[in-house]
Structure 1
Amino acid sequence: MPATPTLRRRMAHLLAWPLLTVLVLSAVYDYVQALQRAQDDQDRALARVAIALASRLDVDADDGQADDFGLHLTRTVAALQRAEPLDRLAFFVRRVGGQVLGGDPGLARWVQASPQDRAVFADASFDGQPWRVTSYAHESSLGQLQILVAETTHRRERQSRRLMLDTLVPNVLLVLLALGGVLAGVRLAMRPLDVVSRRIAARAADDLGPVPLAGLPGELAPFAGTINQLLDRVREAAAHQQAFLSNAAHQLRTPLAGIQTQLELAERDAPPALRERLAQVRLALQRLARSTHQMLALARSGPQAVQQEALEPVDLAALLEGAANDWLDAALASGVELHFDATPVQVRGSPWLLREALANLIHNALQHAPPGSAVQVSCGPERAGAQLAVQDQGPGIPADERERVLERFYQRPGRQGGSGLGLSIVHEVARRHGARLVLADTTAGPGLRVSLHFPSQA
């Protein structure tokens, strides 16, 4: 699916393209107007040459029949030529009756009828070059004269190129500055939205507090208010969910414990043939109770719970002492030695979630450790914060499966009897506390070491 354009990009396009169009049209207009003015100035200069020739004719009218009359006109044009050596000047003068008084007869075909003492202009091609010609009608003592002056267009072309550069460069700079101003203005205008986005993105998944409205522009305030209303509804739904989970845990735990007690009594009083079946039912009920408890714990610890657990200073050493009392009987029943190495250290977290994570780690270790082996539970400070670890002497977990065992309900091939939720719960608890969960081999012999590394509280 193509990416949706951002609001910043849409605003930049909506502002930049009309502005760019206006600036381009302005540049074209400036160039055309400047070129037209330059051509008008050059045409007037060419017309002044024709007028200068007419004035020369008036001065030399007494020599109008002399053989050197054309030579005088040629010298006059040559003198005018020195003022602009880049272009070539040519002329042609004749009486209306047709008598040629001087100049290049090849220009005769470009003579145009013009009002008295008014110059008329045209473009022509002569000697393989483009020319600009002007026809000028003049009444003198020699009679009605037609004067034509032609000039090559090299200077005009050079001036056209110079005008293009003179108008193009400033307008390009103006376009760049305008586009830069538009982008900067859009960026500044969108800065409050960026601030709100960063604040929301920086929140934890379970932070459902309202978005601050102070300092927001009027256009963003309704949007932020709508988000706050949605957060209120989500927070209320999360509170109902947590209440349901707590009630469900309590309501399920009580009857399951009662059923288990009744089964134990019935198993003790039952005849031998029925006692084995009752034992199997009791073990299945224990697995059901643990699975139910784990699923409720996972629901409360995972991101779907949404509601933030209260964080407080937790002494990991005290947490291990409580676990020793809870799991000593289970370790003795499994024939596994349970060792605790508790160095006082505090982390900031949820006591309930940390107890649940530790209980799942000890349960997994006791379940997979062979009889006669040992399970080591330890805690203490480390350079980057604090750690909590449980190490067993069981078969361990291959490195290529250590990511998968963190998935919910995943069980390794050949392993039965568990729910596949223990390490998932530990993983969620670690995530909620900003801790790093590490599964590694033991330093001596077979086994698995699962450790939680908590960040420093400084």
Structure 2
Amino acid sequence: MTLRWRLTLMYAALLALSLLIAGTLSYQGVKQTLYGNLDATLRAEAVTAADVEAKPELEPDTAVAEVLDMINNQNPVRITIYHEDGRLRDRGPSRVGFAPVPGARTAAHERVYTLPIPGGWVQASQSDADLIASLRLTLWQHLLLLPGVLIVSVITGYALAHRALRPVDEVTAVARRIARSGQPGERVPVAPGTDELARLTWTINDMLTQLDLQLAHERLFAHASAHELRTPISVVRAAASLALEHDRAPAEYREALRQINAVSEDMSDLTDRLMALARSARPHRLDPVNLADVALMVTELHAAEAHARRVHLSVTASDAAVTGDLGALVLAAGNLVQNAVRHAPSGSAVEIRSGTGALGAHLTVQDSGPGIPEADIARLMRPFERGQGSPGGAGLGLALVQAVVQAHGGQLGFDRPPGGGLRACVALPRA
């Protein structure tokens, strides 16, 4: 059964239950109103008869009394007066017999109202056949109206469900076409308004846009990776081919092997960075991490390289608790420190700071180098992009840092301090 029919039948069932409850309450209300009016009429007749019975001077003579009894017998409201012990005292006879029960009751298809008076009882009764007929008519009207209302509600409900779920059908059709073609370039027609379905179509389109960008990024990444690996592989093959063309001196073989070894180390470093970039899309572990520890660890890891380049590493480690993967964060911060050390002038300092602020925890790395032109920052975030005058490398450092920071829900930013150089800031949500 389709979702449209399930929604329609559920709506019809709820409507039928509501109509049944409303009809029952309405029927009971009409019944109480009709019986209330009848009881009020009988009570008024009984009180009038009691007033006449209480005043002997109002009693008619025998001939008039016989006429009044005949009228009473033909009147829909039958008045009967009893002695206290239940013997007939005046008027009558009763159609339902005597019962010493004050108030209204139903007996033998009659509505009876009994009023106690001094020394006896006044009983007023009337047939409730007309009242029951009215109630039956009301009941049949309700029962005959219910199927028609349900049929109209089912038709209307299905039409509304079909209209409401049309964007879902469009999303399904687009998803099916994308699954067959593998190209998420198509977009879902945006539903009108600002309701849940409209927000669904917006979200689906945003997801397809991000998916399209991700696929384009992956295709570019695969192409760039193949291009980067082709050059060292060609060098290895060329060196090996030249060494195998004819017999050579041992020194020439050692030189070829040294060249192959150097290129192999570069390839190993490149593949390690490619693996790190691929794994950085999502943190492997989510543990409590203090960015102060990260700052101290990267300072120690790159102290030897900084010393060789005569660059001083200055660290200010203030507590900054976050949640994430310690290894990935150390790798990202290490890339920033390594870039700063390589671009910093000899004899300058690289400042590494951690702390917290209004926007969360942060770790900054600041150098005194030439910096990065603002127009090149977005480009250098992509894999295999190198800056002007870059001292080698695969061009994966900033892309790796960006991937790690985004995977931790943070942001990577760059700015130029007043004293010159470049300051890179990793901002992460606090734990």
TM-score range relative to shorter protein: 0.3 to 0.5
TM-score relative to the length of structure 2? 0.41
TM-score relative to the length of structure 1? 0.39
